[in-house]
Structure 1
Amino acid sequence: MLELSQQGLNCSQMIVAMGLETLGQVNPDLVQAMAGLGGGVGFTGKACGAMTGGACLLSLYAAGLTPHDAIDAQLRSMEMAEELVRWFEQQFGQEYGGTNCQQILGAAFEKRTPQPACADIVSNTYSKVQEIAEQHKLDLTGDAHD
């Protein structure tokens, strides 16, 4: 994760990059597309990028599970994202007074650089995404995503 941060990736980009690595894939366009979620969506301080990136990664995982039924994949994605957000609110929302980037980082938000709290949040969120995916029996080998 330190390597990803040193590459200048934000929290949402790191989550998706780690997920792609788990799948054995490289997709720089997808990682770049996640840039807009950084800093709480375009550095507006809104929803934490680790949380939104985690929801996107769960959707990517679900897409590989049901390639012939897009509606099922979408419903599964929403269900898993809801589970992730509930966990995120309990895990970090209470500690930081909310789940927005600006609430989590406080005055450090203005620096627009990853803070120590970010590494912990990204790591824990990625672990939770993996746990949710496994609970939902999603294939994380990458075979269904090729």
Structure 2
Amino acid sequence: MDLFDRVLALSRYGYFCSQILAILALETVGADDPGLVKAMGGLNGGVGFSGGCCGCLSGGACLISYFTGKPGPTEAESAGHKALMAEFTDWFDQEMLIHYGGTDCRDITKGNPAKRVELCPGIIAQTYEKCMELLSREGMI
């Protein structure tokens, strides 16, 4: 199954943007963490379905941090963590501004929830691919 089809399959189970990104990240490392997937649901639909910050932006940042962030009280985040986060958020901002006029869900969907079905799977897949590209380039995955 290709990435886009996997995203569609997960969305049919009722998962949204940030949760799908978390599931894909967990699958990448062969892990299962229902608590993480549940928690990521708070970012869906622009944080609590408020139409704010796109869950792919916040979820993508969480995905990168899952691999590069500070793992414990005596350990530091990976050396490239902040640079990867900046590169990802700059990329996302530019892509969404060019194609949709902004990075909030309400910008992307133009306030029409039906647009989620049309647009979001492609944005989720594109976001996941970009995160994996950045992490792979830095040897994090």
Normalized against structure 2, the TM-score is what?
A: 0.86
Q: Give the ranges of 4+ consecutive aligned residues of structure 1 lying more than 4 Å apart after TM superposition.
A: 66-69
User: Which residue of the partner structure matches residue 47 of structure 1?
Assistant: 53
Of the three residues 18, 21, 26, the one matched with 2:24 is: 18
Q: Aligned partners of 2:77 and 2:18: how far apart in 1? A: 24
Unaligned 5+ runs, structure 1: 141-146
Which structure: greater helix fraction? 1
Of the three residues 115, 130, 133, the one matched with 2:132 is: 130
- Larger RCO, structures 1/2 (Cα 8 Å, 6+ apart): 1
Of the three residues 90, 97, 101, the one matched with 2:94 is: 90
Q: Tell me the alpha carbon deviations over residues 71-130 of structure 1, each in whole angstroms, 9 at most, x when there is no partner.
A: 333x63332121111111121222111000110001313x5x832110110000000000
Maintained 8 Å contact 2:69/2:77: no
Q: 1:136 to 1:68 in 2, by over 3 A?
A: farther
Q: Aligned partners of 2:43 and 2:93: how far apart in 1? A: 18
- Residue identity over aligned pairs, in percent, reads 36
Matched residues, number: 135
Unaligned 5+ runs, structure 2: 1-6
RMSD: 2.1
Normalized against structure 1, the TM-score is what?
A: 0.83
Local SS of the residue matching 1:44: coil
Letter in 2 for 1:76: G
Letter in 2 for 1:124: Q
Maintained 8 Å contact 1:40/1:101: yes
